[in-house]
Amino acid sequence: MNNETKTTDELLVQLRENVCYVTFQRPTYYNAFTPSLLQSLTSIIEDSDRNDQVRAIVITGAGKAFCSGQDLKAMKSAETYDQLLENNYHPLLRVMRAAKTPLIAAVNGTAAGAGMSLSLACDYRLVHANTTFISAFTNIGLVPDAGMMYDLPRLVGSAKAFEIATLNEKNLR
């Protein structure tokens, strides 16, 4: 079980000392999500949560960003935004909410949009001093999604959550 490594084009998964480390491997794109990355992450969390030897799941990003959110260019041309959410984000969030194994976001740099949402959905966030959080959704004409408006008010209160979600200010530590 321990000291195993698995890699894909988008993820590095390492099992060390009863911890599953998941690293987004798209640093050129600031680790932006693709449908395949989200589906793989969902499976990894689900499988790790079922494994009694895994005591924690740590999620981080390669390079200088944790995750810049959804890679809009990676969306299938026939897929609507609603379908992207229903097919990829909702299953991930359901698995994260149901997990008994603690989920830790090791936020090593920029966490924007759905990347910020994912960090909020984790049980714990370890944040590097140079990290920048930004909602970014309204900058591109979207309503905050990927669970942000569920998790953010529970962490900072409803008034502050509304401010963060709509003003898109950086450096929200």
pLDDT digits (tens, 9 = 90+) for 158-170: 999 888 888 877 6
- Whether residue 122 lies inside any domain: the answer is yes
- Whether residue 172 lies inside any domain: the answer is no
Query: What pLDDT is stored for residue 91 in this prediction?
Result: 96
C-alpha to C-alpha distance for 54 and 19, rounded to whole angstroms: 5
Range of the domain at 87: 4-167
C-alpha to C-alpha distance for 168 and 138, rounded to whole angstroms: 7
User: pLDDT band for position 80 (50/70/90)?
Assistant: confident
The total number of structural domains in the chain stands at 1
Residue 162 belongs to domain with CATH number: 3.90.226.10
Query: What pLDDT is stored for residue 77 in this prediction?
Result: 67
pLDDT digits (tens, 9 = 90+) for 124-169: 999 998 898 888 777 776 777 787 888 888 998 999 988 888 887 7
- Whether residue 158 lies inside any domain: the answer is yes
Q: Is the pLDDT of residue 119 over 80?
A: yes
